[in-house]
């Protein structure tokens, strides 16, 4: 890991820690850097402002969870890791859904990426060849539904890991219907 990535992660963790007990608009760059135990000016070596830090957190965390691991884990393990991550960071994401309206679109795209992996993995296991329309439909349809239900669970403070079995069962049933 490069030093710059390590520093960014330290800054991001400090910000997430502060979000556990503070409102977003109450957190200053000075607060973040004091929590990170890093000089205030260092923040600006990596981020222009807190909004850019927030975007970096989304992209980095989800890239590590979904995009970087898709080839190493099966989609079911990947789904479980994502749900556990969201549970562990639930307060942070509760606040993010309220303050950042663009996050929901980003969140939806991440679910689409994971569901695309589901279809890719399934195609390798079966003789069925999915058309582009079928892939697009099942990914977008399920991503929208899963995004909505996980967002609702986050906002209500419910466990997302409990959604694991219903999501897996639903996806497997839908795949079976398409492949019949």
CA-to-CA distance for 163 and 180, rounded, in angstroms? 26
What value does the mean pLDDT take over residues 65-86?
83
* Predicted confidence band of residue 1 (pLDDT cuts 50, 70, 90): very low
User: Could you tell me the CA-to-CA distances from 69 to 15, 48, 82, 89, 151 in Å, in that order?
Assistant: 25, 29, 11, 19, 22
For the stretch 124-148, pLDDT in tens is: 888 888 899 999 999 999 999 999 9
Asked if pLDDT for residue 2 goes beyond 90, the answer is no
**24's tokens:** 């977003």
Q: What's the whole-number mean pLDDT along residues 28-54? A: 95
Q: Is the pLDDT of residue 71 over 70?
A: no
- Rounded to 5 degrees, φ, ψ at 89 are -115, 30
The stretch 94-123 carries a mean pLDDT of 89
Q: Is 119 exposed, middle or buried (0-12, 13-18, 19+ CB in 10 A)?
A: buried
């Amino acid at each position: 890991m490069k030093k710059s990535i390590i520093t960014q992660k330290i800054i991001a963790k400090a910000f997430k820690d502060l979000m556990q007990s503070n409102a977003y608009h109450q957190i200053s760059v000075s607060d973040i850097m004091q929590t990170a135990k890093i000089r205030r000016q260092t923040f600006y070596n990596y981020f222009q402002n807190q909004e850019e830090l927030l975007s970096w957190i989304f992209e980095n965390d989800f890239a590590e969870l979904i995009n970087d691991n898709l080839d190493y884990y099966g989609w079911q393990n990947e789904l479980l890791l994502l749900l556990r991550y969201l549970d562990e960071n639930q307060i942070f994401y509760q606040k993010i859904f309220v303050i950042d309206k663009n996050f929901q679109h980003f969140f939806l795209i991440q679910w689409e990426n994971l569901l695309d992996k589901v279809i890719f993995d399934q195609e390798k296991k079966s003789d069925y060849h999915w058309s582009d329309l079928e892939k697009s439909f099942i990914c977008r349809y399920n991503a929208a539904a899963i995004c909505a239900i996980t967002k609702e669970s986050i906002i209500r403070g419910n466990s997302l890991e409990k959604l694991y079995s219903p999501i897996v069962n639903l996806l497997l049933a839908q795949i079976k219907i398409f492949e019949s």
